[in-house]
Amino acid sequence: MHKFDEMYESLPIAAGAERAHYKRYAQWLARQPDSVMQARRTEAEMIFRRVGITFAVYGAKDEDGSGTERLIPFDLIPRVIPSHEWLRMR
């Protein structure tokens, strides 16, 4: 199975290999401390739980015997779709 990262032209990831429409975002992201990104992930997870963006896994049980509640998987990094690709999908 091959890994895929929409931000980069190819793997393994090399400096300057960002797809053109991701360049500015990749530059911004590279300047963000890991602690800031982790804090944002923690905040997003808290909001998802509060709003109820979860699903239950009924085979696995919590301490109280109910189904394990999990967050819907999400990516903190948005996917950027350039207009020419978006229009082609329509």
User: What ranges do the domains of the chain cover?
Assistant: 32-89
Q: What is the pLDDT of residue 67?
A: 63
16: left (phi over 0), alpha (psi -120 to 50) or beta: left
pLDDT-derived band at 51, boundaries 50, 70, 90? very high
What average pLDDT does the chain have?
A: 83
**pLDDT (0 to 100) of residue 58:** 73
